[in-house]
Amino acid sequence: MSRLVESGGASSLTFPVRSQRLDSLLDEAGLDQLICSKWTWEGAEHLALAGMEDGLKRFRYRCILLELHPLHPGETRPTLREIAGLMLAKGYKGWALDFSSATTARAKLQPLRDFRTFLCPLDHAFSDPWPHTVWLAPDVPDFQLGIGNVIEPANS
């Protein structure tokens, strides 16, 4: 299992990775909004979200699929409840994705199934050791399945 560490770490295999705040990177690229983004930050979710602070305040990130890395013994970093609290306080709407083996098996049997069948209330994520969540900016309508199985905002 991979994860990010501040420095050194307990693993025998570590290597440095250059990083930059996402807001700054998007500013440099001249991108005002990200319509949909999927993130997995290997345990550094709180650090990445700090680098998105300005964009979160102004809802630059319209839809975020966020995988939260499980805590390792002895780690002290924000929990899903704390990250969810931050996103909700910013005004984002959140759901959990049902990532269970039963749902995954159903998805394999019916690959064009309406994606809404995989959404659960956010509190379902709190008992999942490896939660996957979906966040929408407050002015983005809830999703529906659109033409050609492309996810589009409702009432578009």
Give the CB-side neighbour count of residue 122, counting CA atoms within 13 A: 17
Task: Show me where the domains of the chain are located.
Answer: 22-153
pLDDT tens-digit profile of 113-134? 777 778 888 888 888 877 889 9
Q: Inform me whether the pLDDT recorded for 23 exceeds 90.
A: yes
Token pair, residue 11, equals 């693993």
Coil vs helix vs strand at 64: strand
pTM recorded for the entire structure:
0.76
pLDDT digits 0-9 by tens, 51-100 = 899 999 999 999 999 888 766 666 667 788 888 999 999 999 999 988 78
